Amino acid sequence: MKMKLIFTSYGLTTRKGRELIGEEIAKDQDISRKKIFIFHEPFFSTECLIKRTCLEMGFEESNIIFSGYQSSNQDLLDMDYIYVGSGNTFEILTLLRERNLVDFIRAAVERNCTYIGTSAGAIIAGSSVEEAVRIDRNEVEMTDFQGLSLFRGIILPHYSESELAEVVNCNPELKQKYDKILSVDENEILILKDGIICRRVYQ
């Protein structure tokens, strides 16, 4: 199974996110034939901006599918990319569960779909979102913190490697809870490909 996960702190609604993700997507061949599913709720006002960004990347408009516009969740299995954007981690994961998208996202990624997670979307990709309380409020009162489990571990966006090391040193129990503890700061893109970590810094 080949699996590619792309993580950033900023998403397609920001200049930095567009630069980071756009440069990585540009490495793939014939983007015009590829399909992307976008989950960026409940921020419907940004739909036009995200669509324009995807068009600039080379996607055909008919291949840009926003959540709620798919004919069925089964459509996710035919996607080349799944993008889960920024927002409140607990709220977004709750929405994914309510729309019965979690299992379909997992299945799509297992079938070689590239997962792009930005900020909350990055945290959700891991095995748990419990540590998201460091940057988000759990206003939905979530008690089941299981994430998408696309890799064995957790990721904290908006943290540098040195900041993450400080968190782990102050909370040694984290090493016992999680196989991997990753971070991605505002100027980085973090890629997991077949379990191998690649971190690139952009100035």
Write out the two tokens for 189. 């893109």
What is the per-residue pLDDT across 111-135, written as a single tens digit (0 to 9) for each? 999 999 999 999 999 999 999 999 9
Would you state the pLDDT for residue 29? 86
CATH of domain 4-201: 3.40.50.880
At 45, the amino acid letter reads S
Rounded to whole angstroms, the Cα distance separating 21 from 62 reads 20
| Domain residue limits, the chain | 4-201
Would you state the pLDDT for residue 44? 64
Task: Say if CB 191 and CB 6 are below 8 A apart.
Answer: yes
Could you tell me which of 131, 184, 180, 133 has the C-alpha nearest to residue 17? 184
Angle at the Cα of 118 from the Cα atoms of 197 and 30, rounded to 5 degrees: 75
pTM score of the predicted model: 0.94
Rounded to whole angstroms, the Cα distance separating 77 from 159 reads 32
> Which stretches of 2-117 are DSSP H helices?
15-25, 47-57, 89-98, 102-110
Task: Say if CB 147 and CB 123 are below 8 A apart.
Answer: yes
Which residue positions in the chain have pLDDT lower than 50? 1, 203
Would you state the pLDDT for residue 201? 62
Would you state the pLDDT for residue 203? 44
